């Protein structure tokens, strides 16, 4: 009888330090494979395998498409690819972003739950917003084990706190230093009980990230149409509800939690304000030049009208500039972490 031999881990901001401490304390004879998604820029270069190889005793590498999943091996999602779990092997796909990320945590957790059910341990570490919460729900639906870093112990508490608030029956909420021992014990514990079935919604969402054409063309999809548009492609978003978690997904597969969608809409609003500020500044500049020409031609009334327009335009621009500056100040304050004394055979 197999143990909990597939450990999937998600981290975002502050994740390099957390993952280093986690991997450092895993033994070389761990009876499980470990798969990691850390949010990284799509066009960046990830050196996380190098860092984790120096820190721990288990071999670490970027996952390769079609690679067999083996015990006592750590696989890291490469930039710009979702890392998906099939039964016995890994699949990399450049599917639609979820929660604004590729790689994202939710597709890893969801596909691991679909393929391995009760054998999965899902771990949510430090990060902002709430990627990983929906995937953790899928793991629990299939009878897997949910482990969440204590938000008070995390460098960034957003992801752990979201998981705790929205996922029922989380098995372990622990400081980072206690998680490795729990993972080792679970890996050595046989899985008991009947397998919970894979829901239709989980099947559809898992296939959407692979851009499965049959699913894309299927008019019957989970949820109901909302009044919101997708920030990435402009399509209609379908509203989904996983227990207490409100989520959205568009026809092409872009997915958002409510919190992430709100953040995306804030970004879109800021972009619109910058466009408006630029248009007002250009209008004021052109009106000023025209007023000068009118003065040179002794057309005083026309010059006065244009000068008044310059003043009105600059006043509107000042209001928008003030909104932008205050908004940026609030974001900077909310995303700066408080200082802490301590930061804390094949699988088939």
pLDDT of residue 285: 94
Q: How confident is the model at residue 218 (pLDDT cuts 50, 70, 90)?
A: low
Taking a C-beta distance cutoff of 8 angstroms, is the pair 343, 17 a contact?
yes
pLDDT at res. 43: 84
Give dist(CA 183, CA 189) in Å, integer: 10
pTM of full prediction above 0.85 = no
110 contacts 246 by C-beta, under 8 angstroms: no
pLDDT at 215: 67
Q: What is the mean pLDDT of residues 108-132?
A: 96
CA dist., res. 171 & res. 176, Å (int):
15
The reply to whether 12 belongs to the active site is yes
346 assigned to active site: no
Q: In what order do the strands lie in the sheet with 224-229?
A: 224-229, 236-242, 245-250, 255-257
Give me the pLDDT at residue 91, please. 97
What is the pLDDT averaged over residues 134-143? 94
Distance set, CA 169 to CA 7, 137, 148, 255 (Å) = 18, 10, 11, 24
CA distance 67 to 33: 13
Task: Give the residue with greater pLDDT, 240 vs 339.
Answer: 240
pLDDT at 1: 67
Residue with the bigger pLDDT between 224 and 292: it is 292
pLDDT for the residue 175: 98
Return the ∠ at Cα 22 (arms to 90 and 42), rounded to 5°. 50
Parallel, antiparallel or unpaired: strands 74-76 and 33-38:
parallel
Active site residue 131: yes
Which one from 12, 157, 162, 257 is the annotated catalytic residue? 12
Residue of 4, 39, 82, 101 marked catalytic: 39
Calpha distance 113→219 (Å, rounded)? 25
- For 308-335, the pLDDT digits (tens) are 999 999 999 999 888 888 875 544 444 4
Query: What sign results for the dihedral spanned by CA atoms 297, 301, 304, 306?
Result: negative
- pLDDT > 50? residue 160: yes
> 45-49, 178-182, 228-232, 282-286: which range is least confident on average?
228-232
Q: Which of 5, 106, 130, 131 is catalytic?
A: 131
Q: What average pLDDT score do residues 289-301 get?
A: 92
Separation CA 161–CA 154 (nearest Å): 10
Average pLDDT value for residue range 67-76: 97
Instruction: Name the 3-class secondary structure at 130.
Output: coil
**Contact call for residues 147 and 139 (beta carbons, < 8 A):** no
Q: What is the distance between the alpha carbons of residues 268 and 145, in angstroms, rounded to a whole number? A: 37
Distant-in-sequence, close-in-space partners of 182: CB < 8 Å, separation ≥ 6: 147, 172, 174
CA distances from 260 to 192, 226, 254 (A): 36, 16, 12
């Amino acid at each position: 009888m197999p143990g909990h031999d597939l450990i999937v881990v998600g981290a975002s901001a502050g994740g390099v330090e957390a993952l280093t401490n986690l991997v450092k304390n895993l033994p070389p004879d761990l009876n499980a494979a470990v798969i990691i998604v850390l949010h990284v820029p799509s066009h960046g270069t990830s050196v996380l395998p190098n860092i984790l190889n120096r820190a721990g005793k288990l071999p670490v590498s970027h996952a390769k498409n079609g690679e067999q999943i083996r015990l006592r091996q750590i696989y890291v999602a490469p930039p710009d690819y979702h890392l998906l779990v099939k039964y016995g092997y890994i699949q990399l796909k450049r599917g639609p972003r979820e929660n604004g990320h590729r790689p994202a945590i939710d597709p890893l957790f969801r596909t691991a739950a679909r393929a391995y059910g009760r054998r999965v341990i899902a771990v949510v570490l430090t990060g902002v917003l709430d990627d990983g919460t929906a995937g953790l729900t899928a793991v629990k639906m299939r009878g897997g084990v949910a482990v969440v870093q204590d938000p008070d112990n995390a460098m960034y508490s957003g992801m752990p706190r979201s998981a705790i608030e929205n996922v029922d029956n989380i098995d372990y909420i622990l400081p980072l230093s206690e998680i490795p021992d729990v993972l080792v014990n679970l890996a050595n514990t046989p899985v008991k009980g009947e397998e919970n079935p894979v829901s239709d919604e989980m099947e559809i969402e898992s296939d959407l990230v692979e851009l499965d054409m049959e699913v894309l063309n299927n008019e019957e999809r989970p949820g109901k149409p909302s009044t919101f548009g997708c920030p990435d492609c402009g399509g209609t978003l379908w509203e989904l509800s996983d227990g207490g978690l409100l989520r959205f997904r568009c026809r092409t597969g872009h997915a958002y939690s409510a919190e992430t969608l709100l953040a995306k809409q804030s970004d879109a609003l800021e972009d619109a304000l910058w466009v408006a500020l630029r248009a007002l500044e250009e209008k004021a500049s052109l009106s000023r030049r025209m007023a000068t020409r009118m003065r040179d031609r002794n057309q005083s009334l026309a010059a006065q009208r244009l000068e008044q327009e310059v003043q009105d335009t600059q006043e509107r621009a000042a209001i928008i500039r003030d909104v932008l500056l205050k908004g940026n100040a609030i974001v900077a304050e909310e995303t700066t972490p408080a200082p802490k004394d301590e930061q804390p055979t094949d699988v088939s």
